[in-house]
Structure 1
Amino acid sequence: MFMRMIYDEKLAQAAYLLGCQKTGEAVVIDPERDVDRYLELAAANNLTITAVAETHIHADFLSGARELAERTNATVYVSAEGGPDWSYQWLDKKSSGGSYNHRLLKNNDTFAIGNIELRTIHTPGHTPEHICFLVTDHGSGANEPIALVSGDFLFVGDLGRPDLLETAAGQTGAMEPSARNLYHTLDVLKSIPDFVQVWPAHGAGSACGKALGAIPTSTVGYERRFNPALKAATSEPAFVDFILAGQPEPPLYFAEMKRLNKVGPPVLGRLPNPPRLTADQIRNLDYHTTAIADTRPWDDFRAGHLPGSLSFPISARSFNTDAGSMIAPDEPIVLVVDPAHREEAVRDLIRIGLDHIEGWIHPDDLEDHPLVTTDEISVEQAEPLIAKPGIAVLDVRRAAEFAEGHIDGATNIAHTRLASRMDEVPDADTLLINCRSGFRSARAAAYLERAGRKVINLQGGYLAWEAAHPRPSPL
């Protein structure tokens, strides 16, 4: 059996290519949308992708299952669990007409890729339709599974969060019943041997859990012994309290991903190749109707950028999450990007459904146009400013971080939810914006400047503030 994890560092997302080397068949599980990577990897290893499978309707990225089915005529294997509200709606909407080759899976159903057997396990909790795949390599003579492709059910060091249907998709009252479902789903692990490997869909940095480990894979036995979420399952009430506590605010784009992955992601056909803008086109840009996504480092951005630009450093692991939270799904986009990173930026954006990339600007071309700056000050400069009228402090960290300590009088709105909570932003002449280190607040500062607000970023964030204002030691 051939197995490769294809990992997206920015979205902390893992797809898996499993292949039977004897028959040359392969399946991709939980692919992202730029599927050329999977096709090239398969071809390089003398495999043909004949199937594509999903563990659930994803919320954090746009699925590539439909794209692969279009490109390869692969059979699609997806869940039939969870009821009609959680049914895939695109399986009968092939671009050329008719239906994709597909099979809907129920608990304990199996399918084969050559001599590899994948057995379906229904694992509701993170989502109602969620399934995992127990993988057995019969080609090697094995009669027991080698791995559990666990999707967003079981992570290294965590479990998939059960609150997203409510906090991201807006289904009021869904999180506690989902948490209870997840508690009962844990029973499925009892019948899986300790030696079975865990191949999860996410790692550290994903917003699909609160404490995912940085190690890419694990075993069922190790997680049984050391996973805090599993150890918290001493009783249903204790587990529900634990799993719902401290979950980070979901990025704003999650609801749209969930919707599109259910009804059918638009088919790309190929990776977009936006043109370089001319001087006249740059001059005529209207930031009110076009998102100018500047991917340069923050220091370069704040020293001079096109008016109304948004700041998303391409080197940041949060690039997708930040852009998805601050650019509307159908908004035209122009990138300010070094040519060496242009394709990377395009891939990052289309992975979260931001397809309308109309062009790009070379950073050197900015010199020929009027630029504006963004203010940033130190804690020492901020202290006397805060006391003045017309100044308000906006803390864009997560609620759990804010609760542990904050600048007196600050308003808290997580930067990934800012676009949906603009009516809660203080009505002050100037906003002093902080996060933990100054990075997230920089994203928020640019977003608010585009909205017409006067802003100042707090250099070093709350860490710098706390260092200058140490808390009294307990007696």
Structure 2
Amino acid sequence: MKVEQIYTGCLAQGAYYIESNGEAAIIDPLREVDPYIKMAQERNAIIKYVFETHFHADFVSGHIDLAKKTGADIVYGPTTMKTGFNAIIGKDGQEFKLGNASIKLIHTPGHTMESSCYLLIDENGNQTSLFTGDTLFIGDVGRPDLAQKVISELTQEKLAAHLFDSLRNKIMPLPDDIIIYPGHGAGSACGKMMSDETTDTLGHQKQTNYALRADMTKEDFIDAVLTGLTPPPGYFPQNVLMNIQGYESVDDVVEKGTIALSPSAFETALDHSQAIIIDTRDPKIFAKGFIHGSYNIGIDGSFATWVGTTIMNVKQPILIVADEGREEEVATRLARVGFDNTLGYLKGGIKAWINAGKETETITSVTAEKLAEIAQSKDISILDVRRSSEYNSEHVENAINTPLDYLKDSMTKIDKNKTYYVHCRSGYRSMIFVSILRSKGYKNLIDVHGGMKAIKESEKFKISEYVAPTSLL
């Protein structure tokens, strides 16, 4: 019997390949499914099942394409949702035979009402592993406020109460030596304090996970899991509906998104489509020359998450500027979070645009050392675009917190006629922030190269630190 975790860092997402005696199952696949098919072919295995732990919000699952390409059955836990595709709606406790092993569905409502975990039982009848989706993470549990975005009567308090019961009655009674394989790790917006670790034993989680404390009352639990939640990215409900209703094949989406456009064709598409240009190059390179209106969301970062956070509508037309050879990667990663309306990419990149005689813009960046020099001679205004929790932990004295996560609200704090110096932790988010605001007419924003890390290393700024009060967390 084989179990492989396929972890995708930019989404902090774990999919799983399970195989026994020539039969395989995939749990929570990403949208591009060919890698799973290749894995099975290399092992002379047939993919029999696609198990879904719930209707995902943070990415579009590959369940539909994978079933079409392999003939596998799609399995969900108990749900009242009618899907736009054929699926087995499993019952609590139902077992599915996989080679010499079996996989038992354990219905664990709370993160969503259909949320289910899958218990792997080996050929000897031993319970070995639990694939927990967004019900139980390493160090955390799934947030119980997302399903209400789709079903209004499901309040977060009701869902949190269900989650408490699911954890206590369905998961915690299992053997301590069971391996927990969660759906996400640190960096995912589906939880708030997940560990960097991506597996653990259930016994260790009972000792270390705040939400599994044996002495917790249901009221304590509800308070703990709801405290500190921030609004989820705007694309989440749209991804849920795509996962329920169905979607266009990812192969077709990527093919359309990788149409090579000459500078003239690119400009024409921009003029007639109301498209947003997403320039995926390194922030430092982007700042030296870009097309007016471009959003710089670097591909070498949490690309898909920030696209979904800053562009609210997944149907938004998009044009791509990318480093040569990475265009398909960009289109694929956009499709992972449901952005299927990519119209193509600039053939030859910015160099071709400039060679065609077309205009570019630049963004001014300063080092932390230079910023310190400027601050010595005059009063300056600093924008800190990190999350509020990061800002509260430590920040430059008198800096204004304008989180990128809540760009619309943050913009209200900014005077278009005033100059601001903008930083994040390392420079990735600050360039996203500055580039988007530049596209909206904010021309007096200067990026701080290296972000908070460089500012602290310069030792020339007073840093205010905050110590959180003791709580249930």
Structure 1 pair 170–49 and aligned structure 2 pair: CA distance change class (3 A): closer
Pairing 1:319–2:311 present: no
Q: SS of the residue aligned with 2:306?
A: helix
How many residues are treated as equivalent by the alignment? 450
- 1:279 to 2:269 alignment: no
Compared with structure 1, are the counterparts of its residues 195 and 348 closer, same or farther at alpha carbon in structure 2 (3 Å cutoff)?
same
How far apart are the structure 2 equivalents of 1:190 and 1:315?
Answer: 38
Summarize the alignment of residues 64-463 of structure 1 with structure 2, pairs less than 5 Å apart: 64-81=62-79, 84=80, 87-91=81-85, 100=86, 102-138=87-123, 142-165=124-147, 171=152, 174-187=155-168, 188-231=170-213, 234-270=216-252, 272-273=254-255, 274-284=258-268, 286=270, 289-316=274-301, 318-327=302-311, 328-361=313-346, 362-363=348-349, 364-368=351-355, 369-377=358-366, 378=368, 379-380=371-372, 383=375, 387=379, 394-406=383-395, 412-418=401-407, 420-421=408-409, 424-430=412-418, 431-454=420-443, 455-462=445-452
The alpha-carbon deviation at position 422 of structure 1 amounts to 6.9
Q: Distance in 2 between matches of 1:195 and 1:5?
A: 18
Q: Distance in 1 between matches of 2:154 and 2:215?
A: 22
Matched with 1:97 is: none
Q: For the structure 1 residues 169 and 307, does the alpha-carbon distance in structure 2 shift closer, same or farther, using more than 3 Å as the test? A: farther
Which stretch of structure 1 is more off in the superposition, 450-459 or 32-41? 450-459
SS in 2 for 1:359: strand
- Identity among equivalent pairs (%): 32
Name the amino acid aligned to 2:11: L
Preserved CA contact (<8 Å) 2:266 2:345: no
Amino acid at match of 2:9: E
Distance in structure 2 (CA, Å) of the matches to 1:282 and 1:434: 31
2-side partners of 1:145 and 1:266: how far apart? 38
**Matches of 1:385 and 1:224, distance apart in 2:** 55
1:18 maps to a residue whose letter is I
Equivalents in 2 of 1:136, 1:113: separation in Å? Answer: 10
Q: CA deviation at 1:342?
A: 2.2
Alpha-carbon deviation of 1:162? Answer: 1.9
Range moving further from structure 2, 219-228 or 406-415: 406-415
Q: Distance in 2 between matches of 1:239 and 1:173?
A: 18
Q: Distance in 2 between matches of 1:291 and 1:112?
A: 48
Provide the rounded CA distance (Å) in 2 between the counterparts of 1:375 and 1:175. Answer: 44
1:26-45 deviation per Cα after TM superposition (whole angstroms, max 9, x unaligned):
22111111111111111111
Shift of 1:424: 3.3
**Aligned CA distance change for structure 1 residues 232 and 359 (closer, same or farther; 3 Å):** farther
Q: CA deviation at 1:306?
A: 0.8
Q: Is the 8 A contact 1:133 1:148 kept in 2?
A: yes
CA separation of 1:451 and 1:422: change in aligned 2, threshold 3 A: farther
Contact 1:232–1:238, Cα closer than 8 Å, also in 2:
no
* Structure 1 residue corresponding to 2:26, chosen from 5, 8, 28: 28
Mapped partners of 2:234, 2:465: distance in 1 = 39
CA 1:213 to 1:286, structure 2 compared with 1: closer, same or farther past 3 Å?
same
CA distance in 2, matches of 1:386, 1:174: 50
Measure how far apart 1:436 and its partner are.
3.3
Contact 2:396 2:461 in 1 (8 A): no
Is the partner of 1:468 in helix, strand or coil? coil
Cα 1:446/1:118, change in 2 over 3 Å: same
Larger deviation, residues 438-447 vs 325-334: 325-334
Query: How much has 1:240 moved relative to structure 2?
Result: 2.5
Check the 8 A contact 1:17/1:26 in 2, yes or no: yes
Distance 1:385 1:346 in 2: 46
Aligned to 2:18: 18
Q: What is the TM-score of this pair, normalised by structure 1?
A: 0.86
Q: 1:27 is matched by which residue type in structure 2?
A: A
Equivalent-residue separation in structure 2 for 1:441 and 1:276 (angstroms): 29
**For 1:194 and 1:383, how far apart are their aligned partners in 2?**
56
- Secondary structure, counterpart of 1:7 in structure 2: strand
2:471 aligns with: none
Moved more, 190-199 or 56-65: 190-199
Aligned to 2:462: 470
In 1, distance between residues paired with 2:435 and 2:72?
A: 43
Q: Secondary structure at the match of 1:262?
A: helix
When normalised by structure 2's length, the TM-score is 0.86
CA distance in 2, matches of 1:229, 1:46: 41
Task: After superposing the two structures, state which structure 1 stretch, 193-202 or 1-10, moved more.
Answer: 1-10
Are 1:252 and 1:417, in contact at CA under 8 Å, matched by a contact in 2?
no
Which amino acid is the alignment partner of residue 193 of structure 1?
P
Q: Is the 8 A contact 1:158 1:212 kept in 2?
A: yes
State the SS of the aligned residue for 2:162: helix
> Structure 2 vs 1, CA of residues 472 and 323 (structure 1 numbering), >3 Å: closer, same or farther?
closer
- Superposition deviation, residue 232 in structure 1: 8.0
Asked whether the 8 Å contact 1:63–1:265 carries over to 2, the reply is no
